[in-house]
């Protein structure tokens, strides 16, 4: 058993959007994405969305203010909703429990908040 904050990607498991992302990643990099690829993609997605919210005049202060008023819904790769504020920089404290089933990490719970 393990706890995860995102999904371990597989070519044949998950939503169609997740499977398409997996196939595109593999085609581009000639390698299967791992959990760190998913985490990097999620973090960059939130960064890009925050930059779009800030607009063309980006400063550190404006970026931080925009991020601290942002919430990102669950995404195709399995991240829980991420909500940030001036006092909440973690995004989500929720985890879900997974276990190995036929060699693949498979969630056995939805996200659990502490």
Encode pLDDT of 21-71 as tens digits: 999 999 999 999 988 999 999 999 999 999 999 999 999 999 999 999 999
Determine the 3-state secondary structure of 58 from DSSP. Answer: coil
Does residue 29 belong to any structural domain of this protein?
Answer: yes
Does residue 43 belong to any structural domain of this protein?
Answer: yes
pLDDT at 86: 96
Domains of the chain: total: 1
Average pLDDT of the residues of the chain? 90
82-90: which pairs have CB atoms within 8 A and are 24 or more residues apart?
A: 82/46
pLDDT at 88: 94
Determine if residue 45 is left, alpha or beta; phi over 0 gives left, psi from -120 to 50 gives alpha, anything else beta.
alpha
Domain containing 46 equals 2-107
pLDDT at 113: 87
pLDDT at 3 > cutoff 70:
no
Does residue 99 belong to any structural domain of this protein?
Answer: yes
């Amino acid at each position: 058993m393990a706890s995860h904050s995102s999904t371990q990607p597989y070519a044949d498991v998950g939503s169609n959007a997740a499977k398409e992302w997996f196939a595109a990643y593999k085609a581009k990099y000639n390698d299967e994405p791992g959990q760190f690829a998913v985490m990097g993609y999620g973090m960059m997605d939130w960064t890009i969305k925050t930059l779009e919210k800030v607009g063309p005049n980006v400063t550190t202060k404006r970026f931080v203010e925009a991020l601290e008023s942002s919430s990102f819904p669950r995404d195709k790769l399995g991240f829980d909703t991420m909500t940030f504020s001036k006092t909440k920089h973690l995004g989500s404290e929720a985890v879900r429990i997974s276990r190995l089933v036929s060699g693949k990490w498979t969630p056995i719970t939805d996200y659990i908040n502490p």
